[in-house]
Amino acid sequence: MMKLASGILFTEKQIQQRVLELARQIETDYEGKEFVLCGILKGCIPFLADLMRKIRGDVKIALIEMKSMVDGKHAEIKFTTEMKLDGKDVLVIEDIVDTGITIDYLIKHLETEKGTKSIKVCTLLDKPEARKIDVPIHYRGFAVPNRFIVGYGLDYEESYRNLPYLTWVEP
């Protein structure tokens, strides 16, 4: 049984400030390009919603779902929204990069099957101590310790996604 920690890792204000910084960086780097923010459900929801509204200029979005792991591999990638990604500059929006397995699988899938022009990764959180596969991270909100983080889209057994701040659960 896990319970919510009493402490806060990052406050709502700290998150919003960092998301604004990322948005400014992204809009500069992608200026003049036709780019698509490709969010991984469900964890990306608050982050994607805040980030896209802080980016000035045109930006498109796509949403995907990645089914849970079978034998250490992701069984399926499902595009929730119809979106042609061929020839597009795609920025993957993830809640947290932990082992790196999800992002590694997704990048390979997009490269081989979708004919994207470029693929970059933007993750709100990065847990470097947990990494098993080396993956490129182009935009990172915060590095976090090796704990089970919840809030702002991240869940523990589907709970706590609605917290506006980031915290963790403990035994």
Question: Near ligand IMP by CB under 6 A, which window of 11-19, 24-32, 78-86, 144-152?
Answer: 144-152
Nearest residue (CB) to Mg ion, 43 versus 100: 43
Based on the shown chain and the rule CB under 6 A, indicate whether residue 98 belongs to the binding site for ligand IMP: yes
* Choice between 99 and 116, CB closer to ligand IMP: 99
| 148 part of the interface to ligand IMP, by CB under 6 A | yes
Catalytic residue among 50, 95, 98, 126: 98
Partner in contact with 85, chosen from ligand IMP, Mg ion, none, beta carbon below 5 to 8 Å by kind:
none
User: Tell me, what amino acid is at 4?
Assistant: L
Catalytic residue at 58? no
**Which position among 22, 30, 36, 43 is part of the footprint of Mg ion (CB under 5 A)?**
43
Q: Residue 64 CB, nearest distance to Mg ion (Å)?
A: 10
Annotated catalytic sites, by residue? 98
Interface positions with Mg ion (CB under 5 A): 43
